[in-house]
Amino acid sequence: MSEFLQLVFSGLTVGAIYALIALGFTLIYNASDVINFAQGDFVMIGGMGTVFLMASGLSLPLAALIAVVAAVGVGLLLHRLAIEPARGASPVTLIMITIGASIFIKGVAQIVFDKQFHSLPAFSGDAPIPIGGATLLPQSLWVLGTAIGLVVALYLFLEHTLVGKGLLATAANRLAAKLVGINVTLILAMAFGLSAAIGALAGVVATPITLTRYDIGTLFALKGFAAAMLGGMGNPLGAVVGGLLIGLLETFGAGYVSSTYKDAVAFLMILFVLFFLPRGLFGGRSVERV
Amino acid sequence: MLGKALRARYTPLLVLAALMVLVPLVSTSSFHLRVAALVWIFALAALGLTILMGYAGQVSLGHAGFLGIGAYTVAISPVRLGLDPLLCLVLGAAVAGLVAYAVGRPILRLKGYYLAIATLGFGVIVALVLHSEAEITGGPDGMAVSRLSLFGWRVAGATSWYWVTAGALLVGALLALNIAASPTGRALRALHDSEVAAAGTGIDVASKKLAAFVVAAVYAAVAGGLLAAMNGLITPEAASFSHSIELVAMVIIGGLGSVFGTVVGAAFLVVLPQMLTALQEYEQAVLGLLIMVFMIFLPQGIVPSIRAYLMERLP
Cβ pair A264:B125 closer than 8 A: yes
Q: Which of A189-193, A261-265, B288-292 has the least mean pLDDT?
A: A261-265
State chain A's mean pLDDT as an integer: 89
pLDDT at B40: 95
Given a contact cutoff of 8 angstroms between Cβ atoms, the answer to whether A29 and A15 are in contact is no
The pLDDT tens digits for A127-140 are 888 888 888 999 99
pLDDT of A289 above 80: no
Query: Would the CB atoms of B284 and A225 count as touching at under 8 Å?
Result: no
Q: 3-class DSSP state for residue B58?
A: coil
pLDDT at A51 over 80: yes
Look up the pTM and report it: 0.87
**pLDDT value of residue B152:** 65
In angstroms, the separation between the Cα of residue A37 and the nearest Cα of chain B is 12
pLDDT of residue B6: 65
Per the CB < 8 Å rule, is A97 touching B295? yes
Nearest-CB residue to A104 (from B241, B281, B285): B285
Residue-wise pLDDT tens digits, B115-162: 888 898 899 899 989 988 888 888 888 888 887 766 666 777 888 899
Chain B residue closest in CA terms to A264: B125
Asked if B107 and A233 come within 8 Å (Cβ–Cβ), the reply is no
pLDDT confidence band for A147 (50 / 70 / 90):
very high
Evaluate if residue A74 carries a pLDDT over 70.
Answer: yes
**Nearest neighbour of B249 by CB, restricted to A96, A106, A271:** A96
- What values do phi and psi take at B247, rounded to 5? -60, -45
In three-state form (DSSP H/G/I as H, E/B as E, the rest C), the secondary structure along chain A is: CHHHHHHHHHHHHHHHHHHHHHHHHHHHHHHHCCCCCCHHHHHHHHHHHHHHHHHCCCCHHHHHHHHHHHHHHHHHHHHHHHHHHHCCCCHHHHHHHHHHHHHHHHHHHHHHCCCCCECCCCCCCCCCEEECCEEECHHHHHHHHHHHHHHHHHHHHHHHCHHHHHHHHHHHCHHHHHHCCCCHHHHHHHHHHHHHHHHHHHHHHHHHHHCECCCCHHHHHHHHHHHHHHHCCCCHHHHHHHHHHHHHHHHHHHHHHCCCCHHHHHHHHHHHHHHHCCCCCCCCCCCCCC
Neighboring chain A residues of B292 at a CB cutoff of 8 Å: 82, 97, 100-101, 104
- Average pLDDT for B185-189: 87
What's the pLDDT at B98? 96
Residue of B nearest to A225 (CA): B117
User: What confidence tens digit (pLDDT) does each residue in B247-273 have?
Assistant: 998 998 888 888 999 999 999 989 888
- Number of A/B CB contacts below 8 angstroms equals 132
Is residue B4 classed as helix, strand or coil in its secondary structure?
helix
Q: How far apart are CA A191 and CA A30, in angstroms?
A: 9
For residue A285, name the pLDDT band (cuts at 50, 70, 90): low
Cβ–Cβ gap A100/B290 under 8 Å:
yes
Nearest to B220 by CA among B65, B103, B60: B65
Among candidates B59, B118, B297 on the partner chain, residue whose Cβ is nearest the Cβ of A274 = B118
Work out the average pLDDT over A163-170: 88
Please answer yes or no on whether B113 and A82 come within 8 Å at the CB atom: no
Chain B CB contacts of A107 under 8 Å are: 282-288
Alpha-carbon gap, residue B120 to B243, rounded angstroms: 11
Q: pLDDT at residue B83 above 90?
A: no
Least confident of A252-256, A279-283, B22-26, B255-259: A279-283
ipTM of this predicted complex?
Answer: 0.86
| Residue B1 pLDDT greater than 60, yes or no | no
Residue A286 has pLDDT above 80, yes or no: no
Q: Which residue has the higher pLDDT, A222 or A68?
A: A68
